[in-house]
Amino acid sequence: MTDKTVKIKKNKSIKAWVHQHVNDIYVNQAQKVGYRSRAAYKLLEIDEQENVFHNVLTVVDLGCAPGSWSQVSLQKVGDKGRVVGVDLLDMQPLANLNFIQGDFTEQITLDKLLLSIEHRKVDLVISDMAPNLSGIKGVDQARGAYLIELVLDFAKGYLKTNGHCIIKVFHGSEFDNLVKLARTLFTQVLIRKPDASRSKSSETYLLCKFKKQL
C-alpha cells in the first residue's frame, strides 16, 4: 500500500468516526445533560441494572478523565460522599472531585491515592482505564491485563468487604484468567456489555460484586 492509499483510508475512517459520533444518541444526550463523555451512560446502565451505588459514600474512579464517571459518582454519593479520581491525563476540574494526576501503575500515584482516602477502605472501585495501544497484540493484551491485576490488587486491599468493583476489560487471551482471579476475591463476577458500549468495541465490564472477607 502506498503512503497516499494509507492516508485516504485514514481520512475515510476519521470521517466515518465523526459521522457515527454526531449521530450517536448517547453523545447527543451527554451533551444535552452536561456529561463530559457518552461513557456516563455505561455506568448509569450498569447501576440501573445492578444497583452498584446502593449505600455508597466513597468511590475511587481509576482512569477518570475526561470525567463523566466521576460526574455520575458525585451525583450518586451526594454531599456527604467522597469521590477520588486518578488519571494519567490532566482534566478540567470538577467540583468536589479529589483529582490525582498520575500513572496508576506507579507507586507514587498509589501513595497519593492512599493518602487521599486516608488509608481507609472505600465502598466502590470503578476502573475505565484503557492502556495506550502499541499496536502489537501480545504487548497490548499484557499491558491491559497488568492494569486489571493492579485494580484487583487495590480492591483486595482497599475495598470494603461486600463492596463492588467495576472494571473495563478487553476480550483477549488473558480474559479467562482475569475472571478467575476476580472470582478469588468476589462472591459474584458478572460480565456486562452496556448498550452504550459500541458493539464494534471488544470492551466489556467485569462487575465484581460482594468482596469476600479476606
Ligand X SMILES: C[S@@+](CC[C@H](N)C(=O)[O-])C[C@H]1O[C@@H](n2cnc3c(N)ncnc32)[C@H](O)[C@@H]1O
The footprint of ligand X (CB under 6 A) covers 36-37, 39-40, 63-69, 86-89, 103-105, 128-131
d(CA 92, CA 94): 7
Three-class secondary structure of residue 64 per DSSP: coil
Q: Rounded to an integer, what is the distance from CA 79 to the centroid of its chain?
A: 23
Distances (CA, A) of 181 to 21, 86, 144, 161: 35, 23, 14, 17
- Among candidates 75, 77, 68, 83, which has minimal Cα distance to 27? 68
Residue 167 or 185: the one with the smaller Cβ distance to ligand X is 167
What is the smallest separation between the CB atom of 85 and ligand X, expressed in angstroms?
9
Q: Which residue is nearest to ligand X, using beta carbons?
A: 63
What is the smallest separation between the CB atom of 206 and ligand X, expressed in angstroms?
15
Helix (H) or strand (E) holding 147: helix 137-158
Catalytic entry in 168, 180, 200, 209: 168
List the grid coordinates of 213. Answer: 472477607
- Whether the CB-CB separation of 152 and 183 falls below 8 Å is answered with no
Catalytic-residue membership of 180 = no
Q: Rounded to an integer, what is the distance from CA 19 to the centroid of its chain?
A: 25
Residue 58 or 109: the one with the smaller Cβ distance to ligand X is 109
What is the smallest separation between the CB atom of 211 and ligand X, expressed in angstroms?
21
| Angle, CA 34 vertex, CA 31 and CA 38 arms, to 5° | 55
Residue 58 or 68: the one with the smaller Cβ distance to ligand X is 68
What is the smallest separation between the CB atom of 13 and ligand X, expressed in angstroms?
19
Q: Which residues are annotated as catalytic?
A: 168
